Protein backbone atom coordinates (compact mmCIF):
# COMPACT_ATOMS: atom_id res chain seq x y z
CA UNK A 1 0.00 0.00 0.00
CA UNK A 2 1.19 3.51 -0.81
CA UNK A 3 1.99 6.11 1.82
CA UNK A 4 -0.48 8.97 1.85
CA UNK A 5 0.31 12.71 1.93
CA UNK A 6 -2.55 15.12 2.52
CA UNK A 7 -2.29 18.66 1.20
CA UNK A 8 -4.46 21.66 2.02
CA UNK A 9 -4.60 25.42 1.46
CA UNK A 10 -5.60 27.72 4.35
CA UNK A 11 -6.11 31.46 4.92
CA UNK A 12 -6.59 34.01 2.13
CA UNK A 13 -5.87 32.67 -1.35
CA UNK A 14 -2.97 33.98 -3.39
CA UNK A 15 -1.56 33.38 -6.86
CA UNK A 16 0.69 30.31 -6.91
CA UNK A 17 -1.26 27.97 -4.61
CA UNK A 18 -2.10 25.66 -7.50
CA UNK A 19 1.52 25.59 -8.62
CA UNK A 20 2.49 24.31 -5.14
CA UNK A 21 -0.20 21.62 -5.27
CA UNK A 22 1.04 20.53 -8.71
CA UNK A 23 4.68 20.52 -7.50
CA UNK A 24 3.80 18.26 -4.56
CA UNK A 25 1.86 15.83 -6.74
CA UNK A 26 4.47 15.74 -9.51
CA UNK A 27 7.24 15.01 -6.99
CA UNK A 28 5.19 12.33 -5.24
CA UNK A 29 4.47 10.64 -8.57
CA UNK A 30 8.21 10.24 -9.17
CA UNK A 31 8.20 7.80 -6.29
CA UNK A 32 6.50 4.44 -6.34
CA UNK A 33 5.29 4.60 -2.79
CA UNK A 34 3.51 7.94 -2.21
CA UNK A 35 0.06 9.12 -3.18
CA UNK A 36 -1.47 12.55 -2.55
CA UNK A 37 -4.95 13.58 -1.46
CA UNK A 38 -6.34 17.07 -0.91
CA UNK A 39 -8.57 18.37 1.86
CA UNK A 40 -11.23 20.79 0.65
CA UNK A 41 -11.27 24.21 2.36
CA UNK A 42 -8.24 23.79 4.57
CA UNK A 43 -8.70 21.30 7.44
CA UNK A 44 -12.49 21.52 7.10
CA UNK A 45 -12.46 18.72 4.53
CA UNK A 46 -11.09 16.34 7.16
CA UNK A 47 -13.51 17.43 9.88
CA UNK A 48 -16.68 17.78 7.82
CA UNK A 49 -19.25 15.01 7.78
CA UNK A 50 -19.17 13.62 5.19
CA UNK A 51 -15.48 14.29 4.66
CA UNK A 52 -14.37 16.22 1.61
CA UNK A 53 -11.13 14.62 0.49
CA UNK A 54 -10.09 14.44 -3.16
CA UNK A 55 -7.54 12.27 -4.87
CA UNK A 56 -4.80 14.27 -6.60
CA UNK A 57 -2.81 12.89 -9.49
CA UNK A 58 -0.89 13.90 -12.57
CA UNK A 59 -4.07 14.18 -14.61
CA UNK A 60 -6.10 16.43 -12.37
CA UNK A 61 -3.22 18.78 -11.53
CA UNK A 62 -2.05 19.10 -15.14
CA UNK A 63 -1.92 22.73 -16.25
CA UNK A 64 -3.08 24.21 -12.94
CA UNK A 65 0.23 26.01 -12.27
CA UNK A 66 -0.90 29.15 -14.09
CA UNK A 67 -4.38 29.27 -12.56
CA UNK A 68 -5.04 31.71 -9.73
CA UNK A 69 -6.91 30.73 -6.56
CA UNK A 70 -6.77 27.17 -5.27
CA UNK A 71 -8.45 24.08 -6.68
CA UNK A 72 -8.85 22.90 -3.07
CA UNK A 73 -10.67 25.99 -1.82
CA UNK A 74 -9.65 27.80 1.34
CA UNK A 75 -11.07 29.56 4.38
CA UNK A 76 -10.13 32.23 6.89
CA UNK A 77 -12.71 30.98 9.37
CA UNK A 78 -12.47 28.50 12.20
CA UNK A 79 -9.93 25.68 12.04
CA UNK A 80 -9.20 22.61 14.17
CA UNK A 81 -8.51 24.65 17.32
CA UNK A 82 -11.61 26.84 17.05
CA UNK A 83 -14.32 24.95 15.21
CA UNK A 84 -17.50 27.09 15.15
CA UNK A 85 -20.42 25.19 16.67
CA UNK A 86 -23.89 26.53 17.31
CA UNK A 87 -25.14 25.88 20.84
CA UNK A 88 -28.77 25.06 21.75
CA UNK A 89 -29.35 28.72 22.57
CA UNK A 90 -28.31 29.62 18.99
CA UNK A 91 -25.06 31.26 20.12
CA UNK A 92 -21.75 30.33 18.47
CA UNK A 93 -19.15 28.48 20.46
CA UNK A 94 -15.63 27.49 19.38
CA UNK A 95 -14.55 23.93 20.04
CA UNK A 96 -11.00 22.50 19.99
CA UNK A 97 -11.18 19.49 17.63
CA UNK A 98 -7.42 19.17 17.09
CA UNK A 99 -6.94 15.82 18.90
CA UNK A 100 -9.93 14.33 17.14
CA UNK A 101 -8.58 15.56 13.78
CA UNK A 102 -5.10 14.11 14.35
CA UNK A 103 -6.70 10.75 15.22
CA UNK A 104 -8.91 10.94 12.11
CA UNK A 105 -5.86 11.58 9.93
CA UNK A 106 -4.14 8.55 11.48
CA UNK A 107 -7.23 6.43 10.83
CA UNK A 108 -7.19 7.62 7.21
CA UNK A 109 -3.60 6.41 6.88
CA UNK A 110 -2.20 9.90 6.31
CA UNK A 111 1.54 9.86 7.00
CA UNK A 112 2.33 13.46 6.08
CA UNK A 113 0.34 16.69 5.97
CA UNK A 114 1.48 19.62 3.80
CA UNK A 115 -0.22 22.82 4.89
CA UNK A 116 0.07 25.86 2.62
CA UNK A 117 -0.76 29.06 4.46
CA UNK A 118 0.22 32.41 5.90
CA UNK A 119 1.50 33.15 9.40
CA UNK A 120 -1.80 32.13 11.06
CA UNK A 121 -1.71 28.76 9.29
CA UNK A 122 1.96 28.22 10.21
CA UNK A 123 1.08 28.84 13.87
CA UNK A 124 -1.71 26.26 13.64
CA UNK A 125 0.73 23.81 12.00
CA UNK A 126 3.24 24.39 14.79
CA UNK A 127 0.60 23.55 17.42
CA UNK A 128 -0.49 20.43 15.52
CA UNK A 129 3.14 19.33 15.20
CA UNK A 130 3.55 19.73 18.97
CA UNK A 131 0.52 17.46 19.37
CA UNK A 132 2.15 14.76 17.26
CA UNK A 133 1.05 15.44 13.67
CA UNK A 134 3.61 14.87 10.89
CA UNK A 135 3.22 18.25 9.25
CA UNK A 136 5.20 20.48 6.87
CA UNK A 137 4.41 24.13 6.13
CA UNK A 138 4.57 26.10 2.89
CA UNK A 139 4.53 29.92 3.25
CA UNK A 140 2.09 31.86 1.09
CA UNK A 141 0.74 35.38 1.22
CA UNK A 142 0.66 38.43 -0.99
CA UNK A 143 1.70 40.45 2.10
CA UNK A 144 5.25 38.98 2.19
CA UNK A 145 5.15 39.31 5.98
CA UNK A 146 6.56 35.89 6.92
CA UNK A 147 9.95 35.62 8.56
CA UNK A 148 12.67 33.18 7.45
CA UNK A 149 11.85 33.30 3.76
CA UNK A 150 13.17 35.98 1.41
CA UNK A 151 9.80 36.00 -0.35
CA UNK A 152 6.44 34.33 -0.06
CA UNK A 153 4.88 33.37 -3.38
CA UNK A 154 1.94 35.57 -4.42
CA UNK A 155 3.76 38.73 -3.40
CA UNK A 156 5.42 39.41 -6.75
CA UNK A 157 2.10 38.97 -8.54
CA UNK A 158 0.41 41.45 -6.20
CA UNK A 159 3.24 43.94 -6.78
CA UNK A 160 2.86 43.50 -10.54
CA UNK A 161 -0.89 44.22 -10.35
CA UNK A 162 -0.35 47.24 -8.09
CA UNK A 163 2.39 48.56 -10.37
CA UNK A 164 0.11 48.30 -13.39
CA UNK A 165 -2.48 50.24 -11.40
CA UNK A 166 0.07 53.01 -10.68
CA UNK A 167 1.03 53.12 -14.37
CA UNK A 168 -2.61 53.53 -15.37
CA UNK A 169 -3.36 56.11 -12.69
CA UNK A 170 -0.37 58.26 -13.70
CA UNK A 171 -1.76 58.93 -17.17
CA UNK A 172 -5.19 59.96 -15.96
CA UNK A 173 -3.78 61.96 -13.02
CA UNK A 174 -1.41 63.82 -15.36
CA UNK A 175 -4.18 64.56 -17.87
CA UNK A 176 -6.40 66.11 -15.20
CA UNK A 177 -3.78 67.62 -12.88
CA UNK A 178 -4.96 65.51 -10.01
CA UNK A 179 -3.74 63.82 -6.89
CA UNK A 180 -4.71 60.15 -7.01
CA UNK A 181 -4.43 57.99 -3.92
CA UNK A 182 -4.06 54.25 -4.50
CA UNK A 183 -4.80 51.99 -1.53
CA UNK A 184 -3.11 48.60 -1.67
CA UNK A 185 -3.19 45.54 0.59
CA UNK A 186 -0.47 44.18 2.86
CA UNK A 187 -1.98 44.24 6.36
CA UNK A 188 0.65 45.63 8.78
CA UNK A 189 3.48 45.35 6.26
CA UNK A 190 4.31 47.90 3.58
CA UNK A 191 5.98 45.55 1.08
CA UNK A 192 3.34 45.76 -1.66
CA UNK A 193 2.97 49.53 -1.29
CA UNK A 194 6.66 50.36 -1.30
CA UNK A 195 7.57 47.94 -4.08
CA UNK A 196 4.81 49.11 -6.42
CA UNK A 197 5.48 52.77 -5.58
CA UNK A 198 9.13 52.37 -6.60
CA UNK A 199 8.28 50.32 -9.70
CA UNK A 200 5.59 52.79 -10.76
CA UNK A 201 7.46 55.95 -9.78
CA UNK A 202 4.89 57.29 -7.31
CA UNK A 203 5.60 60.62 -5.64
CA UNK A 204 4.44 59.55 -2.17
CA UNK A 205 4.29 56.17 -0.46
CA UNK A 206 2.82 55.61 2.98
CA UNK A 207 3.57 52.36 4.82
CA UNK A 208 2.66 51.11 8.31
CA UNK A 209 6.30 50.93 9.36
CA UNK A 210 6.82 54.69 8.82
CA UNK A 211 3.92 56.71 10.29
CA UNK A 212 3.15 59.76 8.18
CA UNK A 213 2.53 63.45 8.88
CA UNK A 214 -0.23 65.17 6.94
CA UNK A 215 1.70 68.43 6.53
CA UNK A 216 4.63 66.61 4.90
CA UNK A 217 2.31 65.16 2.25
CA UNK A 218 0.63 68.52 1.77
CA UNK A 219 3.99 70.17 1.21
CA UNK A 220 4.92 67.57 -1.39
CA UNK A 221 1.64 68.21 -3.23
CA UNK A 222 2.12 71.98 -3.08
CA UNK A 223 5.64 71.68 -4.46
CA UNK A 224 4.44 69.55 -7.35
CA UNK A 225 1.62 72.00 -8.13
CA UNK A 226 3.79 75.14 -7.66
CA UNK A 227 3.34 76.25 -11.24
CA UNK A 228 -0.40 75.64 -11.10
CA UNK A 229 -0.33 72.28 -12.82
CA UNK A 230 0.96 68.88 -11.82
CA UNK A 231 -0.03 65.48 -10.61
CA UNK A 232 0.78 63.31 -7.63
CA UNK A 233 0.37 59.57 -7.13
CA UNK A 234 0.18 58.50 -3.51
CA UNK A 235 0.42 54.76 -2.86
CA UNK A 236 -0.89 54.00 0.59
CA UNK A 237 -0.75 50.64 2.34
CA UNK A 238 -4.06 49.62 3.93
CA UNK A 239 -2.32 49.49 7.32
CA UNK A 240 -0.63 52.92 7.06
CA UNK A 241 -0.93 55.13 10.12
CA UNK A 242 -0.65 58.83 10.78
CA UNK A 243 1.87 59.78 13.45
CA UNK A 244 0.04 59.44 16.78
CA UNK A 245 -2.85 57.61 15.11
CA UNK A 246 -3.87 54.01 14.52
CA UNK A 247 -4.69 51.81 11.53
CA UNK A 248 -8.27 51.84 10.23
CA UNK A 249 -9.70 48.45 10.97
CA UNK A 250 -12.91 46.76 11.98
CA UNK A 251 -13.74 43.44 13.57
CA UNK A 252 -15.00 40.92 11.04
CA UNK A 253 -18.67 39.96 11.31
CA UNK A 254 -17.92 36.55 9.72
CA UNK A 255 -18.31 33.75 12.28
CA UNK A 256 -14.89 32.34 13.16
CA UNK A 257 -12.88 34.96 11.24
CA UNK A 258 -10.61 36.53 13.81
CA UNK A 259 -8.73 38.75 11.36
CA UNK A 260 -9.35 42.47 11.58
CA UNK A 261 -10.60 43.96 8.31
CA UNK A 262 -8.29 46.74 7.20
CA UNK A 263 -9.23 49.44 4.74
CA UNK A 264 -10.47 52.98 4.28
CA UNK A 265 -7.13 54.75 4.66
CA UNK A 266 -7.22 56.26 1.13
CA UNK A 267 -10.64 57.74 1.79
CA UNK A 268 -9.55 59.13 5.15
CA UNK A 269 -6.38 60.60 3.68
CA UNK A 270 -8.27 62.34 0.89
CA UNK A 271 -10.71 63.79 3.40
CA UNK A 272 -7.92 64.87 5.80
CA UNK A 273 -5.94 66.53 2.99
CA UNK A 274 -9.03 68.47 1.92
CA UNK A 275 -9.73 69.54 5.49
CA UNK A 276 -6.11 70.64 5.81
CA UNK A 277 -6.57 72.99 2.84
CA UNK A 278 -5.46 70.94 -0.17
CA UNK A 279 -7.44 72.52 -3.01
CA UNK A 280 -6.34 70.46 -6.01
CA UNK A 281 -8.59 67.77 -7.46
CA UNK A 282 -8.18 64.45 -5.69
CA UNK A 283 -9.45 60.94 -6.34
CA UNK A 284 -8.99 57.61 -4.61
CA UNK A 285 -8.75 54.03 -5.92
CA UNK A 286 -8.90 50.96 -3.73
CA UNK A 287 -7.27 48.03 -5.53
CA UNK A 288 -8.65 45.33 -3.20
CA UNK A 289 -8.81 41.69 -4.21
CA UNK A 290 -7.58 42.35 -7.76
CA UNK A 291 -4.18 41.96 -6.10
CA UNK A 292 -4.96 38.40 -5.06
CA UNK A 293 -6.77 36.95 -8.02
CA UNK A 294 -5.64 35.78 -11.39
CA UNK A 295 -2.63 34.14 -12.87
CA UNK A 296 0.70 34.14 -10.97
CA UNK A 297 3.79 35.78 -12.46
CA UNK A 298 6.58 33.50 -13.67
CA UNK A 299 8.57 34.26 -10.49
CA UNK A 300 5.69 33.16 -8.27
CA UNK A 301 5.09 30.01 -10.33
CA UNK A 302 8.73 29.06 -10.03
CA UNK A 303 8.90 29.77 -6.28
CA UNK A 304 5.62 27.94 -5.66
CA UNK A 305 6.81 24.93 -7.67
CA UNK A 306 10.09 24.90 -5.73
CA UNK A 307 8.15 24.99 -2.46
CA UNK A 308 5.86 22.16 -3.58
CA UNK A 309 8.68 19.89 -4.68
CA UNK A 310 10.73 20.63 -1.53
CA UNK A 311 7.78 20.08 0.81
CA UNK A 312 7.15 16.67 -0.74
CA UNK A 313 10.84 15.84 -0.42
CA UNK A 314 10.70 16.67 3.30
CA UNK A 315 7.69 14.35 3.59
CA UNK A 316 9.62 11.56 1.84
CA UNK A 317 12.58 12.12 4.22
CA UNK A 318 10.25 12.21 7.23
CA UNK A 319 11.55 15.69 8.13
CA UNK A 320 8.51 17.22 9.85
CA UNK A 321 7.83 20.34 11.95
CA UNK A 322 9.43 22.55 9.30
CA UNK A 323 8.33 25.25 6.90
CA UNK A 324 10.03 25.39 3.51
CA UNK A 325 11.65 28.78 2.94
CA UNK A 326 13.42 30.62 0.15
CA UNK A 327 16.83 31.81 1.23
CA UNK A 328 18.45 32.79 -2.02
CA UNK A 329 19.51 30.71 -3.89
CA UNK A 330 18.28 27.78 -1.82
CA UNK A 331 15.02 26.34 -0.57
CA UNK A 332 15.61 25.33 3.04
CA UNK A 333 13.57 23.78 5.86
CA UNK A 334 13.06 26.13 8.82
CA UNK A 335 11.58 24.95 12.15
CA UNK A 336 8.04 26.30 12.62
CA UNK A 337 9.07 27.93 15.90
CA UNK A 338 11.68 30.03 14.12
CA UNK A 339 9.33 30.88 11.25
CA UNK A 340 6.52 32.13 13.48
CA UNK A 341 8.50 33.92 16.20
CA UNK A 342 7.91 37.28 14.54
CA UNK A 343 6.71 38.86 11.30
CA UNK A 344 8.63 40.35 8.42
CA UNK A 345 8.18 44.11 8.18
CA UNK A 346 9.87 46.77 6.03
CA UNK A 347 12.76 48.18 8.01
CA UNK A 348 12.92 51.99 7.84
CA UNK A 349 16.70 51.53 7.49
CA UNK A 350 16.42 49.09 4.59
CA UNK A 351 17.94 49.47 1.14
CA UNK A 352 14.41 49.55 -0.34
CA UNK A 353 13.45 52.57 1.77
CA UNK A 354 16.78 54.25 0.94
CA UNK A 355 16.10 53.66 -2.76
CA UNK A 356 12.65 55.22 -2.50
CA UNK A 357 14.04 58.26 -0.70
CA UNK A 358 16.91 58.38 -3.21
CA UNK A 359 14.44 58.97 -6.03
CA UNK A 360 12.89 61.89 -4.17
CA UNK A 361 9.83 59.90 -3.13
CA UNK A 362 8.22 61.12 0.09
CA UNK A 363 7.43 58.50 2.68
CA UNK A 364 5.34 61.06 4.50
CA UNK A 365 7.57 61.37 7.54
CA UNK A 366 10.01 64.15 6.57
O1 LIG B 1 -3.38 38.57 4.00
C2 LIG B 1 -3.76 38.75 2.68
C3 LIG B 1 -4.81 39.82 2.56
O4 LIG B 1 -5.13 39.97 1.19
C5 LIG B 1 -4.43 41.15 3.17
O6 LIG B 1 -3.55 41.89 2.37
C7 LIG B 1 -5.79 41.76 3.37
O8 LIG B 1 -5.81 42.70 4.43
C9 LIG B 1 -6.64 40.58 3.72
O10 LIG B 1 -5.99 39.43 3.24
C11 LIG B 1 -8.03 40.63 3.16
O12 LIG B 1 -8.72 39.53 3.66
P13 LIG B 1 -10.14 39.08 3.13
O14 LIG B 1 -9.95 38.45 1.79
O15 LIG B 1 -10.59 38.10 4.14
O16 LIG B 1 -10.99 40.29 3.03
- pTM of the entire predicted model: 0.96
Ligand 1 atom nearest to CA at 76 = 15
Q: Which residue has the higher pLDDT, 227 or 57?
A: 57
Task: Give 2-41 pLDDT, tens digit per residue.
Answer: 999 999 999 999 999 999 999 999 999 999 999 999 999 9
- Across the range 76-97, mean pLDDT stands at 90
Q: Under DSSP, is residue 235 helix (H, G, I), strand (E, B) or coil?
A: strand
Q: What are the residues facing 336 on neighbouring strands?
A: none
Domain 155-293+347-358 in CATH 3.40.50.460? The answer is yes
**CA 154 to the chain's CA centroid:** 7
Which mutation among 12, 122, 189, 240 tests ligand 1's pocket best, with the greatest number of atoms within 8 A of CB? 12
Q: Ligand 1: which residue has its CA nearest to atom 15?
A: 12
Whole-number Å distance, alpha carbon 138 to ligand 1 midpoint, is 18
Q: Provide the pLDDT confidence category of residue 338 given band limits of 50, 70 and 90.
A: very high
Q: Do the domains at 3-153+296-328 and 155-293+347-358 have one common CATH topology?
A: yes
> How confident is the model at residue 247, as a pLDDT?
85
Does the C-beta of 300 come closer than 6 Å to ligand 1? no
Q: For the chain, what is the mean pLDDT?
A: 96
- Across the range 111-116, mean pLDDT stands at 98
Q: Under DSSP, is residue 352 helix (H, G, I), strand (E, B) or coil?
A: helix
Does the pLDDT at position 115 exceed 90? yes
Whole-number Å distance, alpha carbon 332 to ligand 1 midpoint, is 27
Does the C-beta of 142 come closer than 6 Å to ligand 1? yes
Whole-number Å distance, alpha carbon 323 to ligand 1 midpoint, is 21
CB count, 10 Å around CB of 365?
Answer: 15
Sign of CA dihedral 158, 162, 168, 172: positive
Q: Provide the pLDDT confidence category of residue 155 given band limits of 50, 70 and 90.
A: very high
Contact indicator for 91, 103 with CB cutoff of 8 Å: no
Distance CA 38, CA 332 (A): 24
> How confident is the model at residue 256, as a pLDDT?
83
Does the C-beta of 140 come closer than 6 Å to ligand 1? no
> How confident is the model at residue 239, as a pLDDT?
97
Distance CA 310, CA 26 (A): 11
Whole-number Å distance, alpha carbon 343 to ligand 1 midpoint, is 16
Which mutation among 159, 259, 262, 345 tests ligand 1's pocket best, with the greatest number of atoms within 8 A of CB? 259
Ligand 1 atom nearest to CA at 257 = 15
For the chain, give the percent of residues with pLDDT over 70: 100
Contact indicator for 360, 201 with CB cutoff of 8 Å: no
> How confident is the model at residue 295, as a pLDDT?
98
> How confident is the model at residue 246, as a pLDDT?
87
Q: Provide the pLDDT confidence category of residue 87 given band limits of 50, 70 and 90.
A: confident
Task: Give 222-262 pLDDT, tens digit per residue.
Answer: 999 998 899 999 999 999 999 999 888 888 888 888 888 99
Q: Ligand 1: which residue has its CA nearest to atom 16?
A: 261
63 phi-psi bin (left φ>0, alpha ψ -120 to 50, beta other): left
Q: Under DSSP, is residue 281 helix (H, G, I), strand (E, B) or coil?
A: strand
Q: Which residue, 202, 230, 204, 208, is CA-closest to 217?
A: 204
Residue 143 is a catalytic residue: yes
Whole-number Å distance, alpha carbon 71 to ligand 1 midpoint, is 19
> How confident is the model at residue 228, as a pLDDT?
85
Q: Which residue, 227, 350, 247, is CA-closest to 363?
A: 350
Give backbone dihedrals phi and psi of 352, rounded to 5 degrees, phi first: -65, -45
Ligand 1 atom nearest to CA at 262 = 8
Whole-number Å distance, alpha carbon 180 to ligand 1 midpoint, is 23
- Across the range 67-91, mean pLDDT stands at 92
Burial of 222 from C-beta contacts in 10 A (0-12 / 13-18 / 19+): middle
Give the right CATH number for 3-153+296-328 from 3.40.718.10, 3.40.640.10, 2.60.120.10, 3.40.50.450: 3.40.50.450
Q: What are the residues facing 85 on neighbouring strands?
A: 93
> 13, 44, 119, 143: which one is catalytic?
143
Residue boundaries of the structural domains of the chain: 3-153+296-328, 155-293+347-358
Contact indicator for 199, 163 with CB cutoff of 8 Å: yes
> How confident is the model at residue 165, as a pLDDT?
98
- Across the range 167-177, mean pLDDT stands at 98
Does the pLDDT at position 67 exceed 90? yes
Cis peptide before 284 (omega within 30 of 0): no
> How confident is the model at residue 70, as a pLDDT?
98
Ligand 1 atom nearest to CA at 239 = 8
Task: Give 258-285 pLDDT, tens digit per residue.
Answer: 888 999 999 999 999 999 999 999 999 9
Distance CA 239, CA 269 (A): 12
Amino acid sequence: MKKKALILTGGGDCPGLNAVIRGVVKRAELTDDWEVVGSIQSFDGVLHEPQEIVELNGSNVAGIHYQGGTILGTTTKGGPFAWPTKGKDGAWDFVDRSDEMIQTLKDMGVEAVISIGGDGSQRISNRLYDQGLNIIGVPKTIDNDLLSTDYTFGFQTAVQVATEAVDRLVTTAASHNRVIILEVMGRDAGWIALSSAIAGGAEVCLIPEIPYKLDVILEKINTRFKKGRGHVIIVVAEGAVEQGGGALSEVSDEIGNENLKLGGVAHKLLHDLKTAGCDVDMRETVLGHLQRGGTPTAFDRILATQFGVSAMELAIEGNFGKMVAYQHPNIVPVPFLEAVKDQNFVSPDSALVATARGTGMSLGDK
